[in-house]
Amino acid sequence: SVNQPDHDLDPPFHTQCQEPVTEGPREKAALVMLVRNSELEGAVKTVRSIEKHFNQWFHYPIVFLNDEAWDDVFIETMNATASGEVRFEVLTQEEWSFPSWMDVGKARQGIDQQGKDGILYAGMESYHHMCRFYSGKFYTFDALKEYKWYWRIEPDVDFYCALTYDPFVEMARRSKVYGYTIALPEVPRTCPSLFREMADWKERHRPEIRGSEELWKAMVSPSWVPWPFRRMSLFRHRDRGGDGWNMCHYWSNFEIASLDFFRSKEYQSLFEHLDSTGGFYRERWGDAPVHSLALAMLLDSPQRVHHFADIGYRHDSFFQCPANAFGSKQLPHSDVLSENIPWAPEYASGIGCRCECDGAKTLNVPAYCLNRLKQPNSDRRLSTWAWVRSR
Ligand code: GDP
Ligand code: MN
């Protein structure tokens, strides 16, 4: 297609506006949101946004997950907001708690200490449960058994562009496993021993795992100068050979991915191993770096990972705003590139459809990690230091 540079081995699935393609077979898939009753307002905002930009045409079910019983008002409101089936599930102790062998009193003391040390979110017990859940038990949760694919959503996020094709069908068609929008560096103090633990597991299981090494090398390298946490990372986030993790990971509050990959024997045994070290509580390991490093070691090709460069998305203050596609009808902005931007070429090609974000704003996404993680799917050397702008 016109907007795709030929060096891109992971182009967007579609680059022009089109009437939503709602015919044809569907995948066994669901939108999934873990959420508290108290977050109803933010949850409604998200559901309205994803209905407007996608689900009003596709009507995928939305599965809501909670560690507590649902409020009636939450259920009623969502029934009135979503265009497809809505389901309300409650996690069991198995999915939402400390591992059974752990000394809970001690673990809580450790969590308090992490809070006093000012480690991001680490003083909240529930946040540790959340990260542990999304790292492993999510995938084997009974209520999700019937699905092969999930699109993870969260309260209070925005979607900006029309998604006119079925992302699950396209992922399946192209043998993709994992799709993301934003990539960032992890906060090093949340996970001092995570990388070593995962690298050791990788080394121990070398004969069984079929990782292509290309993604691994995008995250891990000998010459890595850890930015922007240079001093601290000199001593940590290294494997036994001295190679360092650059802290880059796919931001997991948005994920369109294969449940089967994460249900696999390899991934689940990796998760069980990580869980057995207690690191989800002793430290505050995020599910995002766990997913990312696991993908990097287990996938047989970097092309199993897809960057959804055409999806406009915001979570907190980070967002991706694709410029609108050329040649399409009914654009609210006629975004044409006025300056030549030599990096992140997909932003310069105008691949979004009816995006409502302001493509003129400097995006709040450090391009380092995005470009680094895209590198294995590109023949071209992508730039390092630029902050991504869409035009
Ligand atoms: P952040 O994105 O890292 O800032 O973390 P969030 O606070 O947004 O939490 C991530 C997701 O887990 C969101 O969908 C939250 O609604 C959900 N979540 C976090 N903690 C809890 C909890 O204690 N109970 C429930 N039910 N959901 C939670
Ligand atoms: Mn969030």
Most confident of 94-98, 243-247, 337-341, 362-366: 94-98
The helix, strand and coil proportions of the chain, stated in percent and rounded to the nearest 5, come to 40, 15, 45
* Selection from 275, 269, 271 nearest residue 101 by Cα: 275
Residue 106 pLDDT: 98
Predicted confidence (pLDDT) per residue in 184-195, tens digit: 999 999 999 999
Residue 324 pLDDT: 73
Residue 337 pLDDT: 34
Ligand 1 pocket, 35 CB below 6 A?
yes
CA distance 236 to 197: 11
Most confident of 194-208, 234-248, 320-334, 354-368: 194-208
pLDDT surpassing 90 at residue 371: no
* Element at 221 (helix H, strand E): strand 220-221
Predicted confidence (pLDDT) per residue in 139-184, tens digit: 999 999 999 999 999 999 999 999 999 999 999 999 999 999 999 9
Q: Which tops the pLDDT comparison, 370 or 114? A: 114
pTM comes to 0.91
CA distance 124 to 120: 9
Q: Other CB atoms closer than 10 Å to residue 92's CB: what's the count?
A: 12
Pair 297, 169: CB distance under 8 Å = no
Site of tokens 């699935």 = 13
pLDDT bin (cut points 50, 70, 90) of residue 369 is confident
Residue 372 pLDDT: 87
Atom from ligand 1 closest to the CA of residue 35: 16
CA distance 184 to 155: 20
Atom from ligand 1 closest to the CA of residue 91: 26
pLDDT surpassing 50 at residue 387: no
Q: Where are the domains of the chain?
A: 29-306
Burial of 288: CB neighbours in 10 Å, binned 0-12, 13-18, 19+: buried
Residue 205 pLDDT: 96
Predicted confidence (pLDDT) per residue in 202-214, tens digit: 999 998 898 999 9
Average pLDDT over residues 344-354: 60
Residue 325 pLDDT: 66
Total residue length of the chain: 391
Q: Which one-letter DSSP state was computed for residue 245? A: E
Residue 370 pLDDT: 87
CA distance 24 to 85: 19
Can you read off the two tokens belonging to residue 91? 């996690």
pLDDT surpassing 70 at residue 64: yes
**C-alpha distances in angstroms, 309 versus 92, 194, 237, 256, 360?**
36, 29, 29, 13, 16
Pair 135, 198: CB distance under 8 Å = no
Ligand 1 pocket, 130 CB below 6 A?
yes
Residue 210 pLDDT: 84
Ligand 1 pocket, 66 CB below 6 A?
yes
What residue type is 322 in one-letter code? Answer: P
Which residue has its alpha carbon closest to ligand 1 atom 7? 127
> What 3-state class would DSSP assign to 13?
coil
Can you read off the two tokens belonging to residue 204? 């121990």
Which value, to the nearest 10 degrees, does the dihedral of the CA atoms of residues 38, 30, 210, 190 take?
A: -10
Pair 363, 321: CB distance under 8 Å = yes
Which residue has its alpha carbon closest to ligand 1 atom 5? 127
Residue 226 pLDDT: 52
Which residue has its alpha carbon closest to ligand 1 atom 1? 253
pLDDT bin (cut points 50, 70, 90) of residue 91 is very high
Q: Which CATH architecture has domain 29-306?
A: Alpha-Beta Complex (3.90)
* Selection from 1, 5, 2, 29 nearest residue 342 by Cα: 5
